[in-house]
Every structure is written in C-alpha cells, then in structure tokens.
Chains A and B, each alone.
Chain A
Amino acid sequence: MIKIQGLQHTFAIGKKGKERRVPVLKGVTLNVEKGEIVAILGKSGSGKSTLLNILAGFMAPESGSVKVGGNETTTLNEAQMANFRLESFGFIFQNFQLMPGLTAFENVELPLKIKGMAEHERRKKVQRLLEEVGLVAVADHYPNELSGGQQQRVSIARALITDPPILLADEPTGSLDSETEGDILKLIRSLNQSLGLTFVIITHDEEVANVAHRQYRLHDGELVKGEKRHAI
C-alpha cells in the first residue's frame, strides 16, 4: 500500500547565510501493507512528524521515493497532491484541527464539499457516519461546545467521510485524557477491523503504539523495526 524508500531530509539551522544542515531522515525505508496499522514511535525531534509530512505530501523530501498505491507522490505538483490527498488520505490530528465556525456536521461535511458532492447526497452520507461514530446528538454543536474526545471523533469522522484507504494520524490521543484515549484507540482498531483501513500512526506514546500491528522507532533519523504486536 505504502512504499517508502531511501527517504532523506535535512533542516537548515542558524542565521541565513550561516546556516548549517542537520539531517532529520537518513534513508528511511518502510513498507505498509493494506489493512495494516503501523505505529512510528519516537521522541520529539526524532523526525517522525517530518516523515508523516512527507508521506502526506505537505513537504517534499530531498531524496528518496514515496509510493502510495503504486503512485509516486514526491513528483506530484501542489494541485495534484491536493487531489491525491482528497482521494487517498484521511487525517487525524493531535489538535483535531476542526473549523471553529462550523458545526460538527459541517466539519465532517467539508471534505465532501471540497470534492463537489451534491448537497442531498453528502448530507445523507454525513448523517450515516455521525450515527456510526455516535455523534448524532452533537451534530449541530460547534467545536468549542464539544469535549476533547467528541472533537477527536468529529475529526475521525471527517477523515473517514471521503472513504480514503489510508488514515494518517499524528499523535491522535495527544490532547486527550487516558479514558478518552482508550475510546479513540478502540475506535481506530474497530475501523481497521471492520473497514480494512490502513493506519499510519505517529506517536511518542507506547500505549498508542500498542494498537498497531507493527511498530517502528525513529532514532537519529533512522527507522528501527520494533516488535510485531498483532497479526493483521
């Protein structure tokens, strides 16, 4: 499903003209199978967010290749990449990244609007999904009227609404208490099992990583294979 090969990237540090390049990713190679949950663990500054940003197409690597479903994404331009993201990825962010001026329903509906789906069709689809993730009661609430767990559920619903094959999660429980964290991890696992979705989870939390079939650890820009936790 995802094939990352020889990914290298550096960051410039220091004043302009006197900056020095610090390597963040040193030839990272990773394969993620369809329907697999892969967790990438690492301390802050280890380069795990950079890896996710490159995978999502938010930034281009200095060298290396990223293939998603057989398509090389590093050569896509900004507009092509936006389209690719809309079709292939769903995003779950640590800070939920919901639109404050939109209700839960409207937030979930947004990717379908961007896609250009007709109103009656998308409303039906959003309604059905909100029922599945248990958010019907708060559908017309604004993000600031929702709890952290509810906001993350809205964020997950928004990620799922376009039926993407892959979900990219950046610290999905980073802003949640441990009880809510458990709920969200259960939801991820059940989505993986029921819909066969592929997850790439970036986290520093071992508990979160435990939900994955495979774990990797980024250390000094190199990816170290972790213990295989579960069979797919």
Chain B
Amino acid sequence: MRFNDQFDFIRQHMKRNKLRVATTILAAMMGCAFLIILASVGFGLHKTITDGVLDNQLVTEIQVPGKETSDEKITDEEIQAMREIDHVIAGVKRSSPDAEAVAMLDERKGYVPAVLVDFEEEQKAGLALSQGEMPKSENEVLVGYHFAKQLLTEEEQKKVDEGEEVKGFTDNVVGQTFKLELSPYKEGVEPATWEFTVSGIMDEPAKDWIVNSKIYIDDSFGPEFNNKLALGESYNEILVYADDLQNVGTITKTLKDEGYYVYSVTEELDSMDMFFTALKAGLIFVGTIAVLIASIGIFNTMTMAVTERTREIGVMKAIGAQPKLIQKLFLMESAAIGIIGTVLAVISSYGISFLANWLVPIIIKSSLGGEEGMDDVTLLISVIPWQLVVIASVISIGVAMVSGWRPARKATKIDVIQALRQEL
C-alpha cells in the first residue's frame, strides 16, 4: 500500500471515531503541554538568573582576589604577566587607601571612597566617561557619576539624616578643584589634605541601584599617601579583562593553573548551570509522568480501535493485506494522535508561556507595590527553547507509538476465520 493511501486510510478511521480520537489527542496534548510548561519554568528561571548575573557585572571581567598558595599580595610583575596571557586586553589594579576619604568643595563635603588606578590600563579595560576627559596631569582625577550628589552642605546633611532627599552639588563638577582629606583608620596619625581637579565624570552605572561616588586618583599618588599618612596595607582589587566572553573560561583556567584564586562570570554560570541542568532534568522527568498517564488513553483508544475493527482487519488480511501493513496502519494512527497532540501542545505551551511571562511579572510587581528598581528587573517565568520542544516531542510521540505498539501487534495476530465470523 502506498504511503498516501495508508495516510488516507488512517485519516478515514480517525474521522469515523472523531470524539474518541479528539479526547485522546486532548489527553496527549495536555500531557505534552504540561511537560513543556513545567520544564519551561526551569529554563525561565535559569535565564532570568543568568541574565541577572550577566547584567550585574561586566561579563569579560575576571576577578583575581589572591593566590591559592600564599597570603602574599599579587605583585605588579605578576599583574604584568597576567596582561600577557592570550586574549587579555587589560589587567588593572585598584587600591583603596586604608583611610577615610572626605571630599570638600567650598562649604560642601562628602564621604567618598578614593581609589588609586592606572588610567591607561583602565582605558584599555573599557573605562567610559559621561562628561569631561581623561586626566592629563597628576592632580586631575575622575569621579563617579554620583560624586556630586554626595557633596552636601551641613544643612543638607541634616536633612539626609532626617531621611529627606537632597540634590547635593548641582553645578557642573568638571573643572572644579576640591580638597581631599584622608584620615587613616590607624590611631595617632594626623589626617592630610590634597587638592584635586575633576577632569571627567564616569559613565552612569548600568543599573539604577548602583551608586558610584568614587574618586579615581592616578596610582602614582600611592607612595605619597603612604609616606604622609603611614598607611597600612591598602586593599587591592585585581581585575583582568578578556577580549570576548567566549575567552573568559580559558583565561580563568589559565589563571587557576597558575595558582590564583579566580572569580569570573563563567565560574558563577558553571555552578548555576549544574544546578539548573539538574532542576530541568527533574522537571522533564515529572512532566514525562504526565505524558505516560496520557499514553494510557492512547493505549485504550488503540485497543478499542483494534477490537472494534477486528472484522475489518480480518477482511483486509483475507484479501491479501500483509500483517506488517496492518501493524503499520495502527502504529501510524497512534503516532498521528501523538503528533497532533504534540503540535497542539507546542502551540498552546508557547501561548501559555507568553501569557505567564506577561501576567506574572505584573502581579509580582503590583504585589511588591512598585518598589524602586523593579522596572529594571526582567522576570522570565517560562522560556521554551527549541531543544525543549525537541525533547518533549520525542518523548510524547515516542510514548504514543510505544502505547500503540501492543494494540498494533494484537491486530496482526487477529485470526481471519474468527474475525470473519463476527457479526456486523
């Protein structure tokens, strides 16, 4: 029998038992849709959290907090060696002096963190300004986007203490010269003051909730601070920048092999991936149980179909149909139920997923009372990647065919003589 005739044959049979076939397809669809939706929640959470990680930090940034082998600080030579690793575009050291920093501009003052940086290397790492230009002389500095807001008068400081909002310094801070007073945390050492001019303002942080009020001073000031204030060991932040996200893993591995503690986005993603892979596998397993329950329906429908069509199967065998053809026709019918159910399940799952992604964040946001910063959070409840569609389709259609296998075998075993004796 030709394939299109076989197809036509099962189509006619399915049409004759519309209601039963439709309910079986519905059951298959519900099972498969349940599997997809359940697993899509795992994929959605994974994506939400991964995106969160990627959004909250520069993805090509690798933090090197120290050495695994000793407590010694990472030396400048070692940082230079890191810069020479393949695909590393910059290796920066940011030192925070062991002192409290207060910036003073006329009658305004603000507690702001001071950081010693190598501007040249920071530029290679992707430092961007929102205003002004890079420092050209030793006494020029860059300030964070929110620096000016931190410079408060006494009156404004009182208002802040009382919980009121103030605007801080509203004039252009670029070109302004301010005094920086450093008071060492170590007791018995007098504070010292330097004068700096703001040459540029850093770019606005990527997220609303990040506040950058730092002062970025050229690292050549380091020894001077130490001499005048007899500072203790400053806290150093070592960051290595890769040229591309795909090279972060390799650089991370190289640094680890060289005995450094390393933290990069790939490290975080790797541990997350492991957890979410297990979660998704678990959800797919639970979803598969729903598909198996639906398969009982397919088994029953096909068994009924074989029983009802015993006489017809007998006639077909009598007039020369091969047992394999009979088996194939029934397997095709159960596969058709599985395929139609799966297609409908995929379509409805995308619909449900779209609805969930639209509705649930609205509900969550409204229940949180529209807290500040929430607009910035992208919450994906459900994500259906093509891989999930493939996995669910294979499971669903495979289970449908397996459930049709026994009835189909039963059909081939039908005895022609017994079948022809059946009453119409």
Provide the residues of chain B in CB contact with A53, threshold 8 Å: 417
Selected from A56, A78, A87, A95, the residue in CB contact (under 8 A) with B318 is: A56
Q: Are A100 and B424 in contact (CB under 8 A)?
A: yes
- In the bound complex, what is the Cα–Cα distance between A158 and B312 (angstroms)? 14
Chain A 91-130 interface mask (CB, 8 Å, partner B; 1/0): 1010101111110000000110111101100000000000
Interface size class of A (residues with CB under 8 A): 20 to 34
Q: Which stretch in B215-223, B322-330, B344-352 binds the other chain? A: B322-330
- Whether A114 contacts B318 in the complex (CB less than 8 A), given A53-B417, A58-B417, A101-B12, comes out as no
Provide the residues of chain B in CB contact with A13, threshold 8 Å: none
Q: Are B318 and A85 in contact (CB under 8 A)?
A: yes
Residue of A with least CB distance to B3: A116
Which of B12, B323, B417: most chain A CB closer than 10 A?
B417
Whether a CB of chain B sits under 8 angstroms from the CB of A83 is yes
Q: Are B323 and A91 in contact (CB under 8 A)?
A: no
- In the bound complex, what is the Cα–Cα distance between A87 and B325 (angstroms)? 16
Whether a CB of chain B sits under 8 angstroms from the CB of A138 is no
Interface of B (DSSP majority class): helix
Least CB distance, B134 to chain A, in whole angstroms: 80
Provide the residues of chain A in CB contact with B420, threshold 8 Å: 93, 95, 97
Q: Are A101 and B16 in contact (CB under 8 A)?
A: yes
Q: Are B323 and A97 in contact (CB under 8 A)?
A: no
- In the bound complex, what is the Cα–Cα distance between A91 and B321 (angstroms)? 13
Q: Are A86 and B5 in contact (CB under 8 A)?
A: no
Least CB distance, B420 to chain A, in whole angstroms: 6
- Whether A114 contacts B321 in the complex (CB less than 8 A), given A93-B420, A95-B424, comes out as yes
Residue of A with least CB distance to B9: A113
Chain B 265-292 interface mask (CB, 8 Å, partner A; 1/0): 0000000000000000000000000000
- In the bound complex, what is the Cα–Cα distance between A116 and B317 (angstroms)? 15
Whether a CB of chain A sits under 8 angstroms from the CB of B416 is yes
Whether a CB of chain A sits under 8 angstroms from the CB of B228 is no
Number of interface residues of B (CB under 8 A): 25
Q: Are B320 and A82 in contact (CB under 8 A)?
A: yes
Q: Are B416 and A114 in contact (CB under 8 A)?
A: no
Whether a CB of chain B sits under 8 angstroms from the CB of A79 is yes
Q: Are A79 and B318 in contact (CB under 8 A)?
A: no
Whether a CB of chain A sits under 8 angstroms from the CB of B343 is no
Provide the residues of chain B in CB contact with A101, threshold 8 Å: 12-13, 16
- In the bound complex, what is the Cα–Cα distance between A36 and B314 (angstroms)? 28
CB-CB contacts below 8 Å: B1-30 with A? 1-2, 5, 9, 12-13, 16
- In the bound complex, what is the Cα–Cα distance between A91 and B319 (angstroms)? 7
Q: Are B320 and A99 in contact (CB under 8 A)?
A: no
- In the bound complex, what is the Cα–Cα distance between A116 and B315 (angstroms)? 17
Q: Are B318 and A91 in contact (CB under 8 A)?
A: yes
Residue of A with least CB distance to B416: A58
Least CB distance, A85 to chain B, in whole angstroms: 5
Least CB distance, A73 to chain B, in whole angstroms: 13
Whether a CB of chain B sits under 8 angstroms from the CB of A59 is yes
Whether a CB of chain A sits under 8 angstroms from the CB of B316 is yes
Chain A 50-86 interface mask (CB, 8 Å, partner B; 1/0): 0001001011000000000000000000110011011
Chain A 35-60 interface mask (CB, 8 Å, partner B; 1/0): 00000000000000000010010110
Q: Are A111 and B319 in contact (CB under 8 A)?
A: yes
Provide the residues of chain B in CB contact with A91, threshold 8 Å: 318-319
Provide the residues of chain A in CB contact with B416, threshold 8 Å: 58
Q: Are B2 and A116 in contact (CB under 8 A)?
A: yes
Residue of A with least CB distance to B326: A82
- In the bound complex, what is the Cα–Cα distance between A82 and B313 (angstroms)? 13
Selected from B13, B16, B314, B322, the residue in CB contact (under 8 A) with A82 is: B322
- In the bound complex, what is the Cα–Cα distance between A86 and B316 (angstroms)? 10
Whether a CB of chain A sits under 8 angstroms from the CB of B311 is yes
Provide the residues of chain A in CB contact with B325, threshold 8 Å: 114
- In the bound complex, what is the Cα–Cα distance between A189 and B424 (angstroms)? 29
**Extra inter-chain contacts (14) besides given A83-B322, A86-B320, A113-B2, CB under 8 Å:** A58-B416, A59-B417, A79-B322, A79-B323, A83-B320, A85-B320, A91-B318, A95-B424, A97-B420, A99-B315, A100-B312, A100-B424, A119-B5, A158-B319
Sample of 17 A–B contacts (CB below 8 Å): A53-B417, A56-B318, A58-B416, A79-B322, A82-B317, A82-B320, A82-B321, A85-B320, A91-B318, A97-B315, A102-B12, A113-B1, A113-B9, A114-B1, A115-B320, A116-B1, A116-B2
